Structure 1
Amino acid sequence: MRIGAPELEAWSSRELVDAATMNRRIRDVHRWLATPPSARVMGAPLSLLANTASALPFYAPGAEPFEGHSYEALVGMAPSQPGGLVHRLVAPATGWYRARVGAGIWAGNPSPGWPGRNVWVDIAVNAEPTGSAIAAGSRHRAALDQATDNIHRGVVLAELQLAAGDAVLVAATIDGSAGAWANSTHHASLPYTAFFELHWGGEL
């Protein structure tokens, strides 16, 4: 499959075409439309979130130790780092993309009389894989809802204009004591609430 979107070529009246031309004008276009660039990875446990922003880790596609729903339509969209975790999703072609992050954050046990903590997610492009860099270069920021006394959940959606090779990264921030990227340690259903998706939406 081509990395860039196939060009739409005009047909000429009574034109004689060979197999290569038919593949280019029909097969490649339909294949691109049927399987556009997209990737989805599931959240990996992070034992500690700093009081400032922390970059969120994800399992490589298919590597989550539970029945997840991860995939990589084009190889290279979810590059793994040393240790096998994914910290960014990469746009293989220039265009509009939809980034979607499902987050479940354990924000620690609030002190008596403390109503809770604020937790938010940042989505950045081409930032260094640190929480502070992602927060500083954020293109989209959204707060998570407080689901229980110490669990914050939500889905964050952003539409991004990306060039080929741009990397999208995610960080979370808690405005108080450190917490954790929620996982099965805290609730059996939480692995399914933590994910990161990137989908190609069209040419610029």
Structure 2
Amino acid sequence: MSYPSWSYFPRNARPEPWAEALCAAVGAQRTALDTLQPLPTGATRPSSDGVLEVLRPSMERLGYLVEAGKTRSQRIERPVLFGENGRAEVTYEIDAFHDGLGIAVEVEAGRGAMSNAAYRDIIRTSLLLDADYFVLMMPISYRYQSAGRTSTTDAYAKTREQLSAIYASQRLRLPFRAVLLIGY
């Protein structure tokens, strides 16, 4: 199986070169990110912040501004609405943005795999100004403990099904030229 798994929407559009370059950057970090590989005893998977930290150097080389931490100066805020005197009145935080190409990036890990974070990310990113493309990174597989048992959810596959349904039904039209889903 090639790594990472990825899907480009709409399905009738040829993936842009930037999409393949970003997937190659994720692929180069397979050892640190691959959620299908067994973990050594006691080890844990990286959080979404940990995934961003691993990918930061590669993404910055590709021209992305990447969130560096949780302090205000390290976060990336993008405008949604403007108010008095042209000041941004509503902004949303995102994980990374490529100003030159208009690519907004969100990375999810455990919480995102277990909740409806994909839906939230799709809607919130749809409202960002200047976001022509959307990249959503999800774990291929997420293992978790529940009631003393280990369970697994296939976060990437579930999100791929959601995006396939959105694009096939055409009842909800997303404002992006394309969406890239990456399973790590």
TM-score w.r.t. structure 1 length? 0.28
Q: Which has the higher strand share?
A: 1
Greater radius of gyration (CA)? 1
Q: Which has the higher helix share?
A: 2
TM-score w.r.t. structure 2 length? 0.30
More RCO (CA 8 Å, sep 6+) = 1
